[in-house]
A and B are shown apart, each in its own frame.
Chain A
Amino acid sequence: MWILSFGALLSMLLSVSQRWNRPFVMLVVLLGIMSAAFFGMERNGLETHSFFSGAFHWNAFSYLSGFFLLKVSGAIAVLFYGSYLRTRFFTGEVISLYLFTLLGMMVLLSSQDVVTILVGLELMGMGLYALVGYVDVNRLSLEGAVKYLILGALATAVFLFGVALVYVSTGSLQLTAWAAVVNPSVWMQIGMLMMFLGLAFKLALVPFHSWAPDVYESAPSGITAFMATCVKLTVLGLIFLLCETFSAGASQWMVLFAWVSALSMVIGNWMALVQSGLKRMLAYSSIAHSGYMAMVLCTAPTAESLETLFFYLTAYTLASLVVFGCLMWLEEKNCRNLHLDDIAGLSRTYPWVSAAMAVGILSLAGMPPTGGFLGKFFVFSHVLQGGHVGLVIVAALGSAVSLYYYLRVLVRMYMMEPDPISLLAPQRAWWTVWVVGASVVATLLMGTVGAGRFLQLLHLGLS
C-alpha cells in the first residue's frame, strides 16, 4: 500500500514535466507501480498484520480482494489506455488520480477503525469524482462529475451521521469495540442503518440509484467500467465487514437489505427495458446486479456468504470487462455514447467483436454455459438456504425480464443490417484485444470447467 501511495505521488510529480507526460510512459509507470504493489502484497502474504496501532488490519480477506482489485484495475487501465489515453493530454494526472482511487479502495478493505474507513471512502470518492470529469473535458462529463460529487457528498454525510450515532452509543471508533456490543441500543441501530444507507449509494442501490445512469453515461467508458467493477467489490467487501461487526443487530439490517435488493432488482431491470443508450442500459443493469449481490447480504455473514458473493462479483466483473472493453474499442477516439442503433449489424462488419460482446451479454444475463449463470445459481441457492423464498422469486423474475434488454443488443448486432453511414471508426488496438479475449475465455471457463478450481481457491482464501 505504501507503494501505491508513493506511486500516486510520483506520477503526479512526473506529470508536471513535459517530457514525461507522454501517454505511453505513463502507462508503463502505472503498470510498474501496480506490479510493485502486487509484489509487496505477495510479501505480506496471508498472515495478519496491523499497522498504525490497529488502524489497519491486513488479513486474508484484504489480500484476496486486493489481489482481485489490482488485477481488474490493471485490466481496465490497459483497456482505457488502448482507447482514450493515447490521444489525451494530462495523462499523468489521470494516472495519479487512478492510483489514488485505488489506494482509497485498498485502505477501505483493510481498515479496522472508522476513521480509516472514512479516509478510504473519501479518497476513493474524490478520485472517482475527478476521474469522471477529468479525462475528456466536455459538458456532459463535467455535469456527470458534479452530480456524482454532490450526491456522493450527501451520501457521505448520511454515513457520517450514522457513525456519529454509533460513536455516541459505544464510545469508541474501533470496529472491534463495535463488534463487542451485544445488545445495541436504538440509537446504535439507527446509526447502523444510516451507515449502510450511505454505503448503498456507492453501489447504486435503490433508493440511491438516480446518479448511476447519468454518471455512467457521461463518464468515459473506462471510468464507467472502473466504477461498475472495482467500486462494487470494495463497497460490498466493506459492507460485509460491517455486517460481521454488527452481527448483534442482524435482524434489522437483513430486512433493510432484503427490501433494498428487491427494489433494486425490480427497478433496475424495469428501467433498463426502455433504454436505448447502451451505457445507460448498462447502468440500470448494474443497479439490478447490485440488487442480486445485495441479496447475499440478507443472509448471515459467514465464509460461505463471502464465497458466493465473490464468485458472483468475479463473474460480473469479467462480463463487464468484456462488454465495456468492446464498447471502448468501438468508441475509440470519438468518446461518444453509443446508441443501440450504432451497433446494428455489427456481426457483419466486426464479427469477432460481436461474438465477444455476445458472450459478455449472455454472462450478464445469466445464461449457461457462462460464469454468470453459475454466479446466479449459487446466489439463489445461498439465499434460498437463508429462507428468503420471495426474494429469490423476485430475482428469478427479474432475470427473465432482463433477458429482454440483453437480447435486444444481440438482436441489433446479429439480426439487423448495418447502417451504411456509420460513425464507428475503431482502430486495431491489440491491448484491448488481449484483455477482452482473456476475459471472454475466463467467463466461459468459469461457467464450465474452471468453476470447481475457482471455488476451491476462494474457499482457501476466505475461510
Chain B
Amino acid sequence: MDKLNQLTSSCVPLPIEDVDTDQIIPARFLKATTRLGFGENLFRDWRYEKDGSPKKDFVLNNPTYTGSILVAGKNFGCGSSREHAAWAIKDYGFRVVVSSFFADIFKGNAMNNGILPITVTQEFLNDIFLAIESDPHCQLSVSLQEQMLEITSTGKRTSFQIDPYKKMCLLNGYDDIDYLLSVQDKIEAFESTRA
C-alpha cells in the first residue's frame, strides 16, 4: 500500500449529499477482475452522456477544478460495499476525501487502499466549499501525522480523528493482512479454545 502523510493540493468540490457507491462506480463496471482502470469510469453516469460525450456541467469535466483532494457532501460512499468505489477514486488520482460524514464500509475500504477519509464538521465543510467558490484553485493542506487539515487561503484549520492503528498503517503503507499474519499464532490458539 502507498504511504501517505503530508499533502497540499487544490481540490474538486462535489457538494452533493448521500453520494452512493453505485454513482461512484456503476455496477456494470464491476466485471473487471483486477484493481486497475476504474478511474476512467469514476462517476460514469454523472460524468458522461449515454453516447460517451462528457457532460459539461459535471465538476470532473471542468478543467478549473483539479487536484488530489475530493470534497464531498455528507454521507459520502453509502450503499454497496464495492471496494471498486475506492479503487476508482484512487485510480482517478484522489488521495484524500473530505466530507462531514462517511458511510462506514466506504471509509474502511478507502483506508485499506491508502486513501485518507477526513471527517470535518458541517460548518468546516461549508467553509471549504465557500473558499473554493471564491477561489477555485484554493488549496487544502493535510498532515496525517498532526491530524490537521488547513484551508491555506484562509488559514482556517481543524483537527480530525483517526484510529491510531489505521493512522500507523497509512503512514507506513502497511495493510491489515500484514498485521493479521503476524498474529496467526494467536488466531490458532483462539481456534483451539473453541473446538
Check if A and B associate. no
Residues of A near any B CB (own CB < 8 A): none
Residues of B near any A CB (own CB < 8 A): none
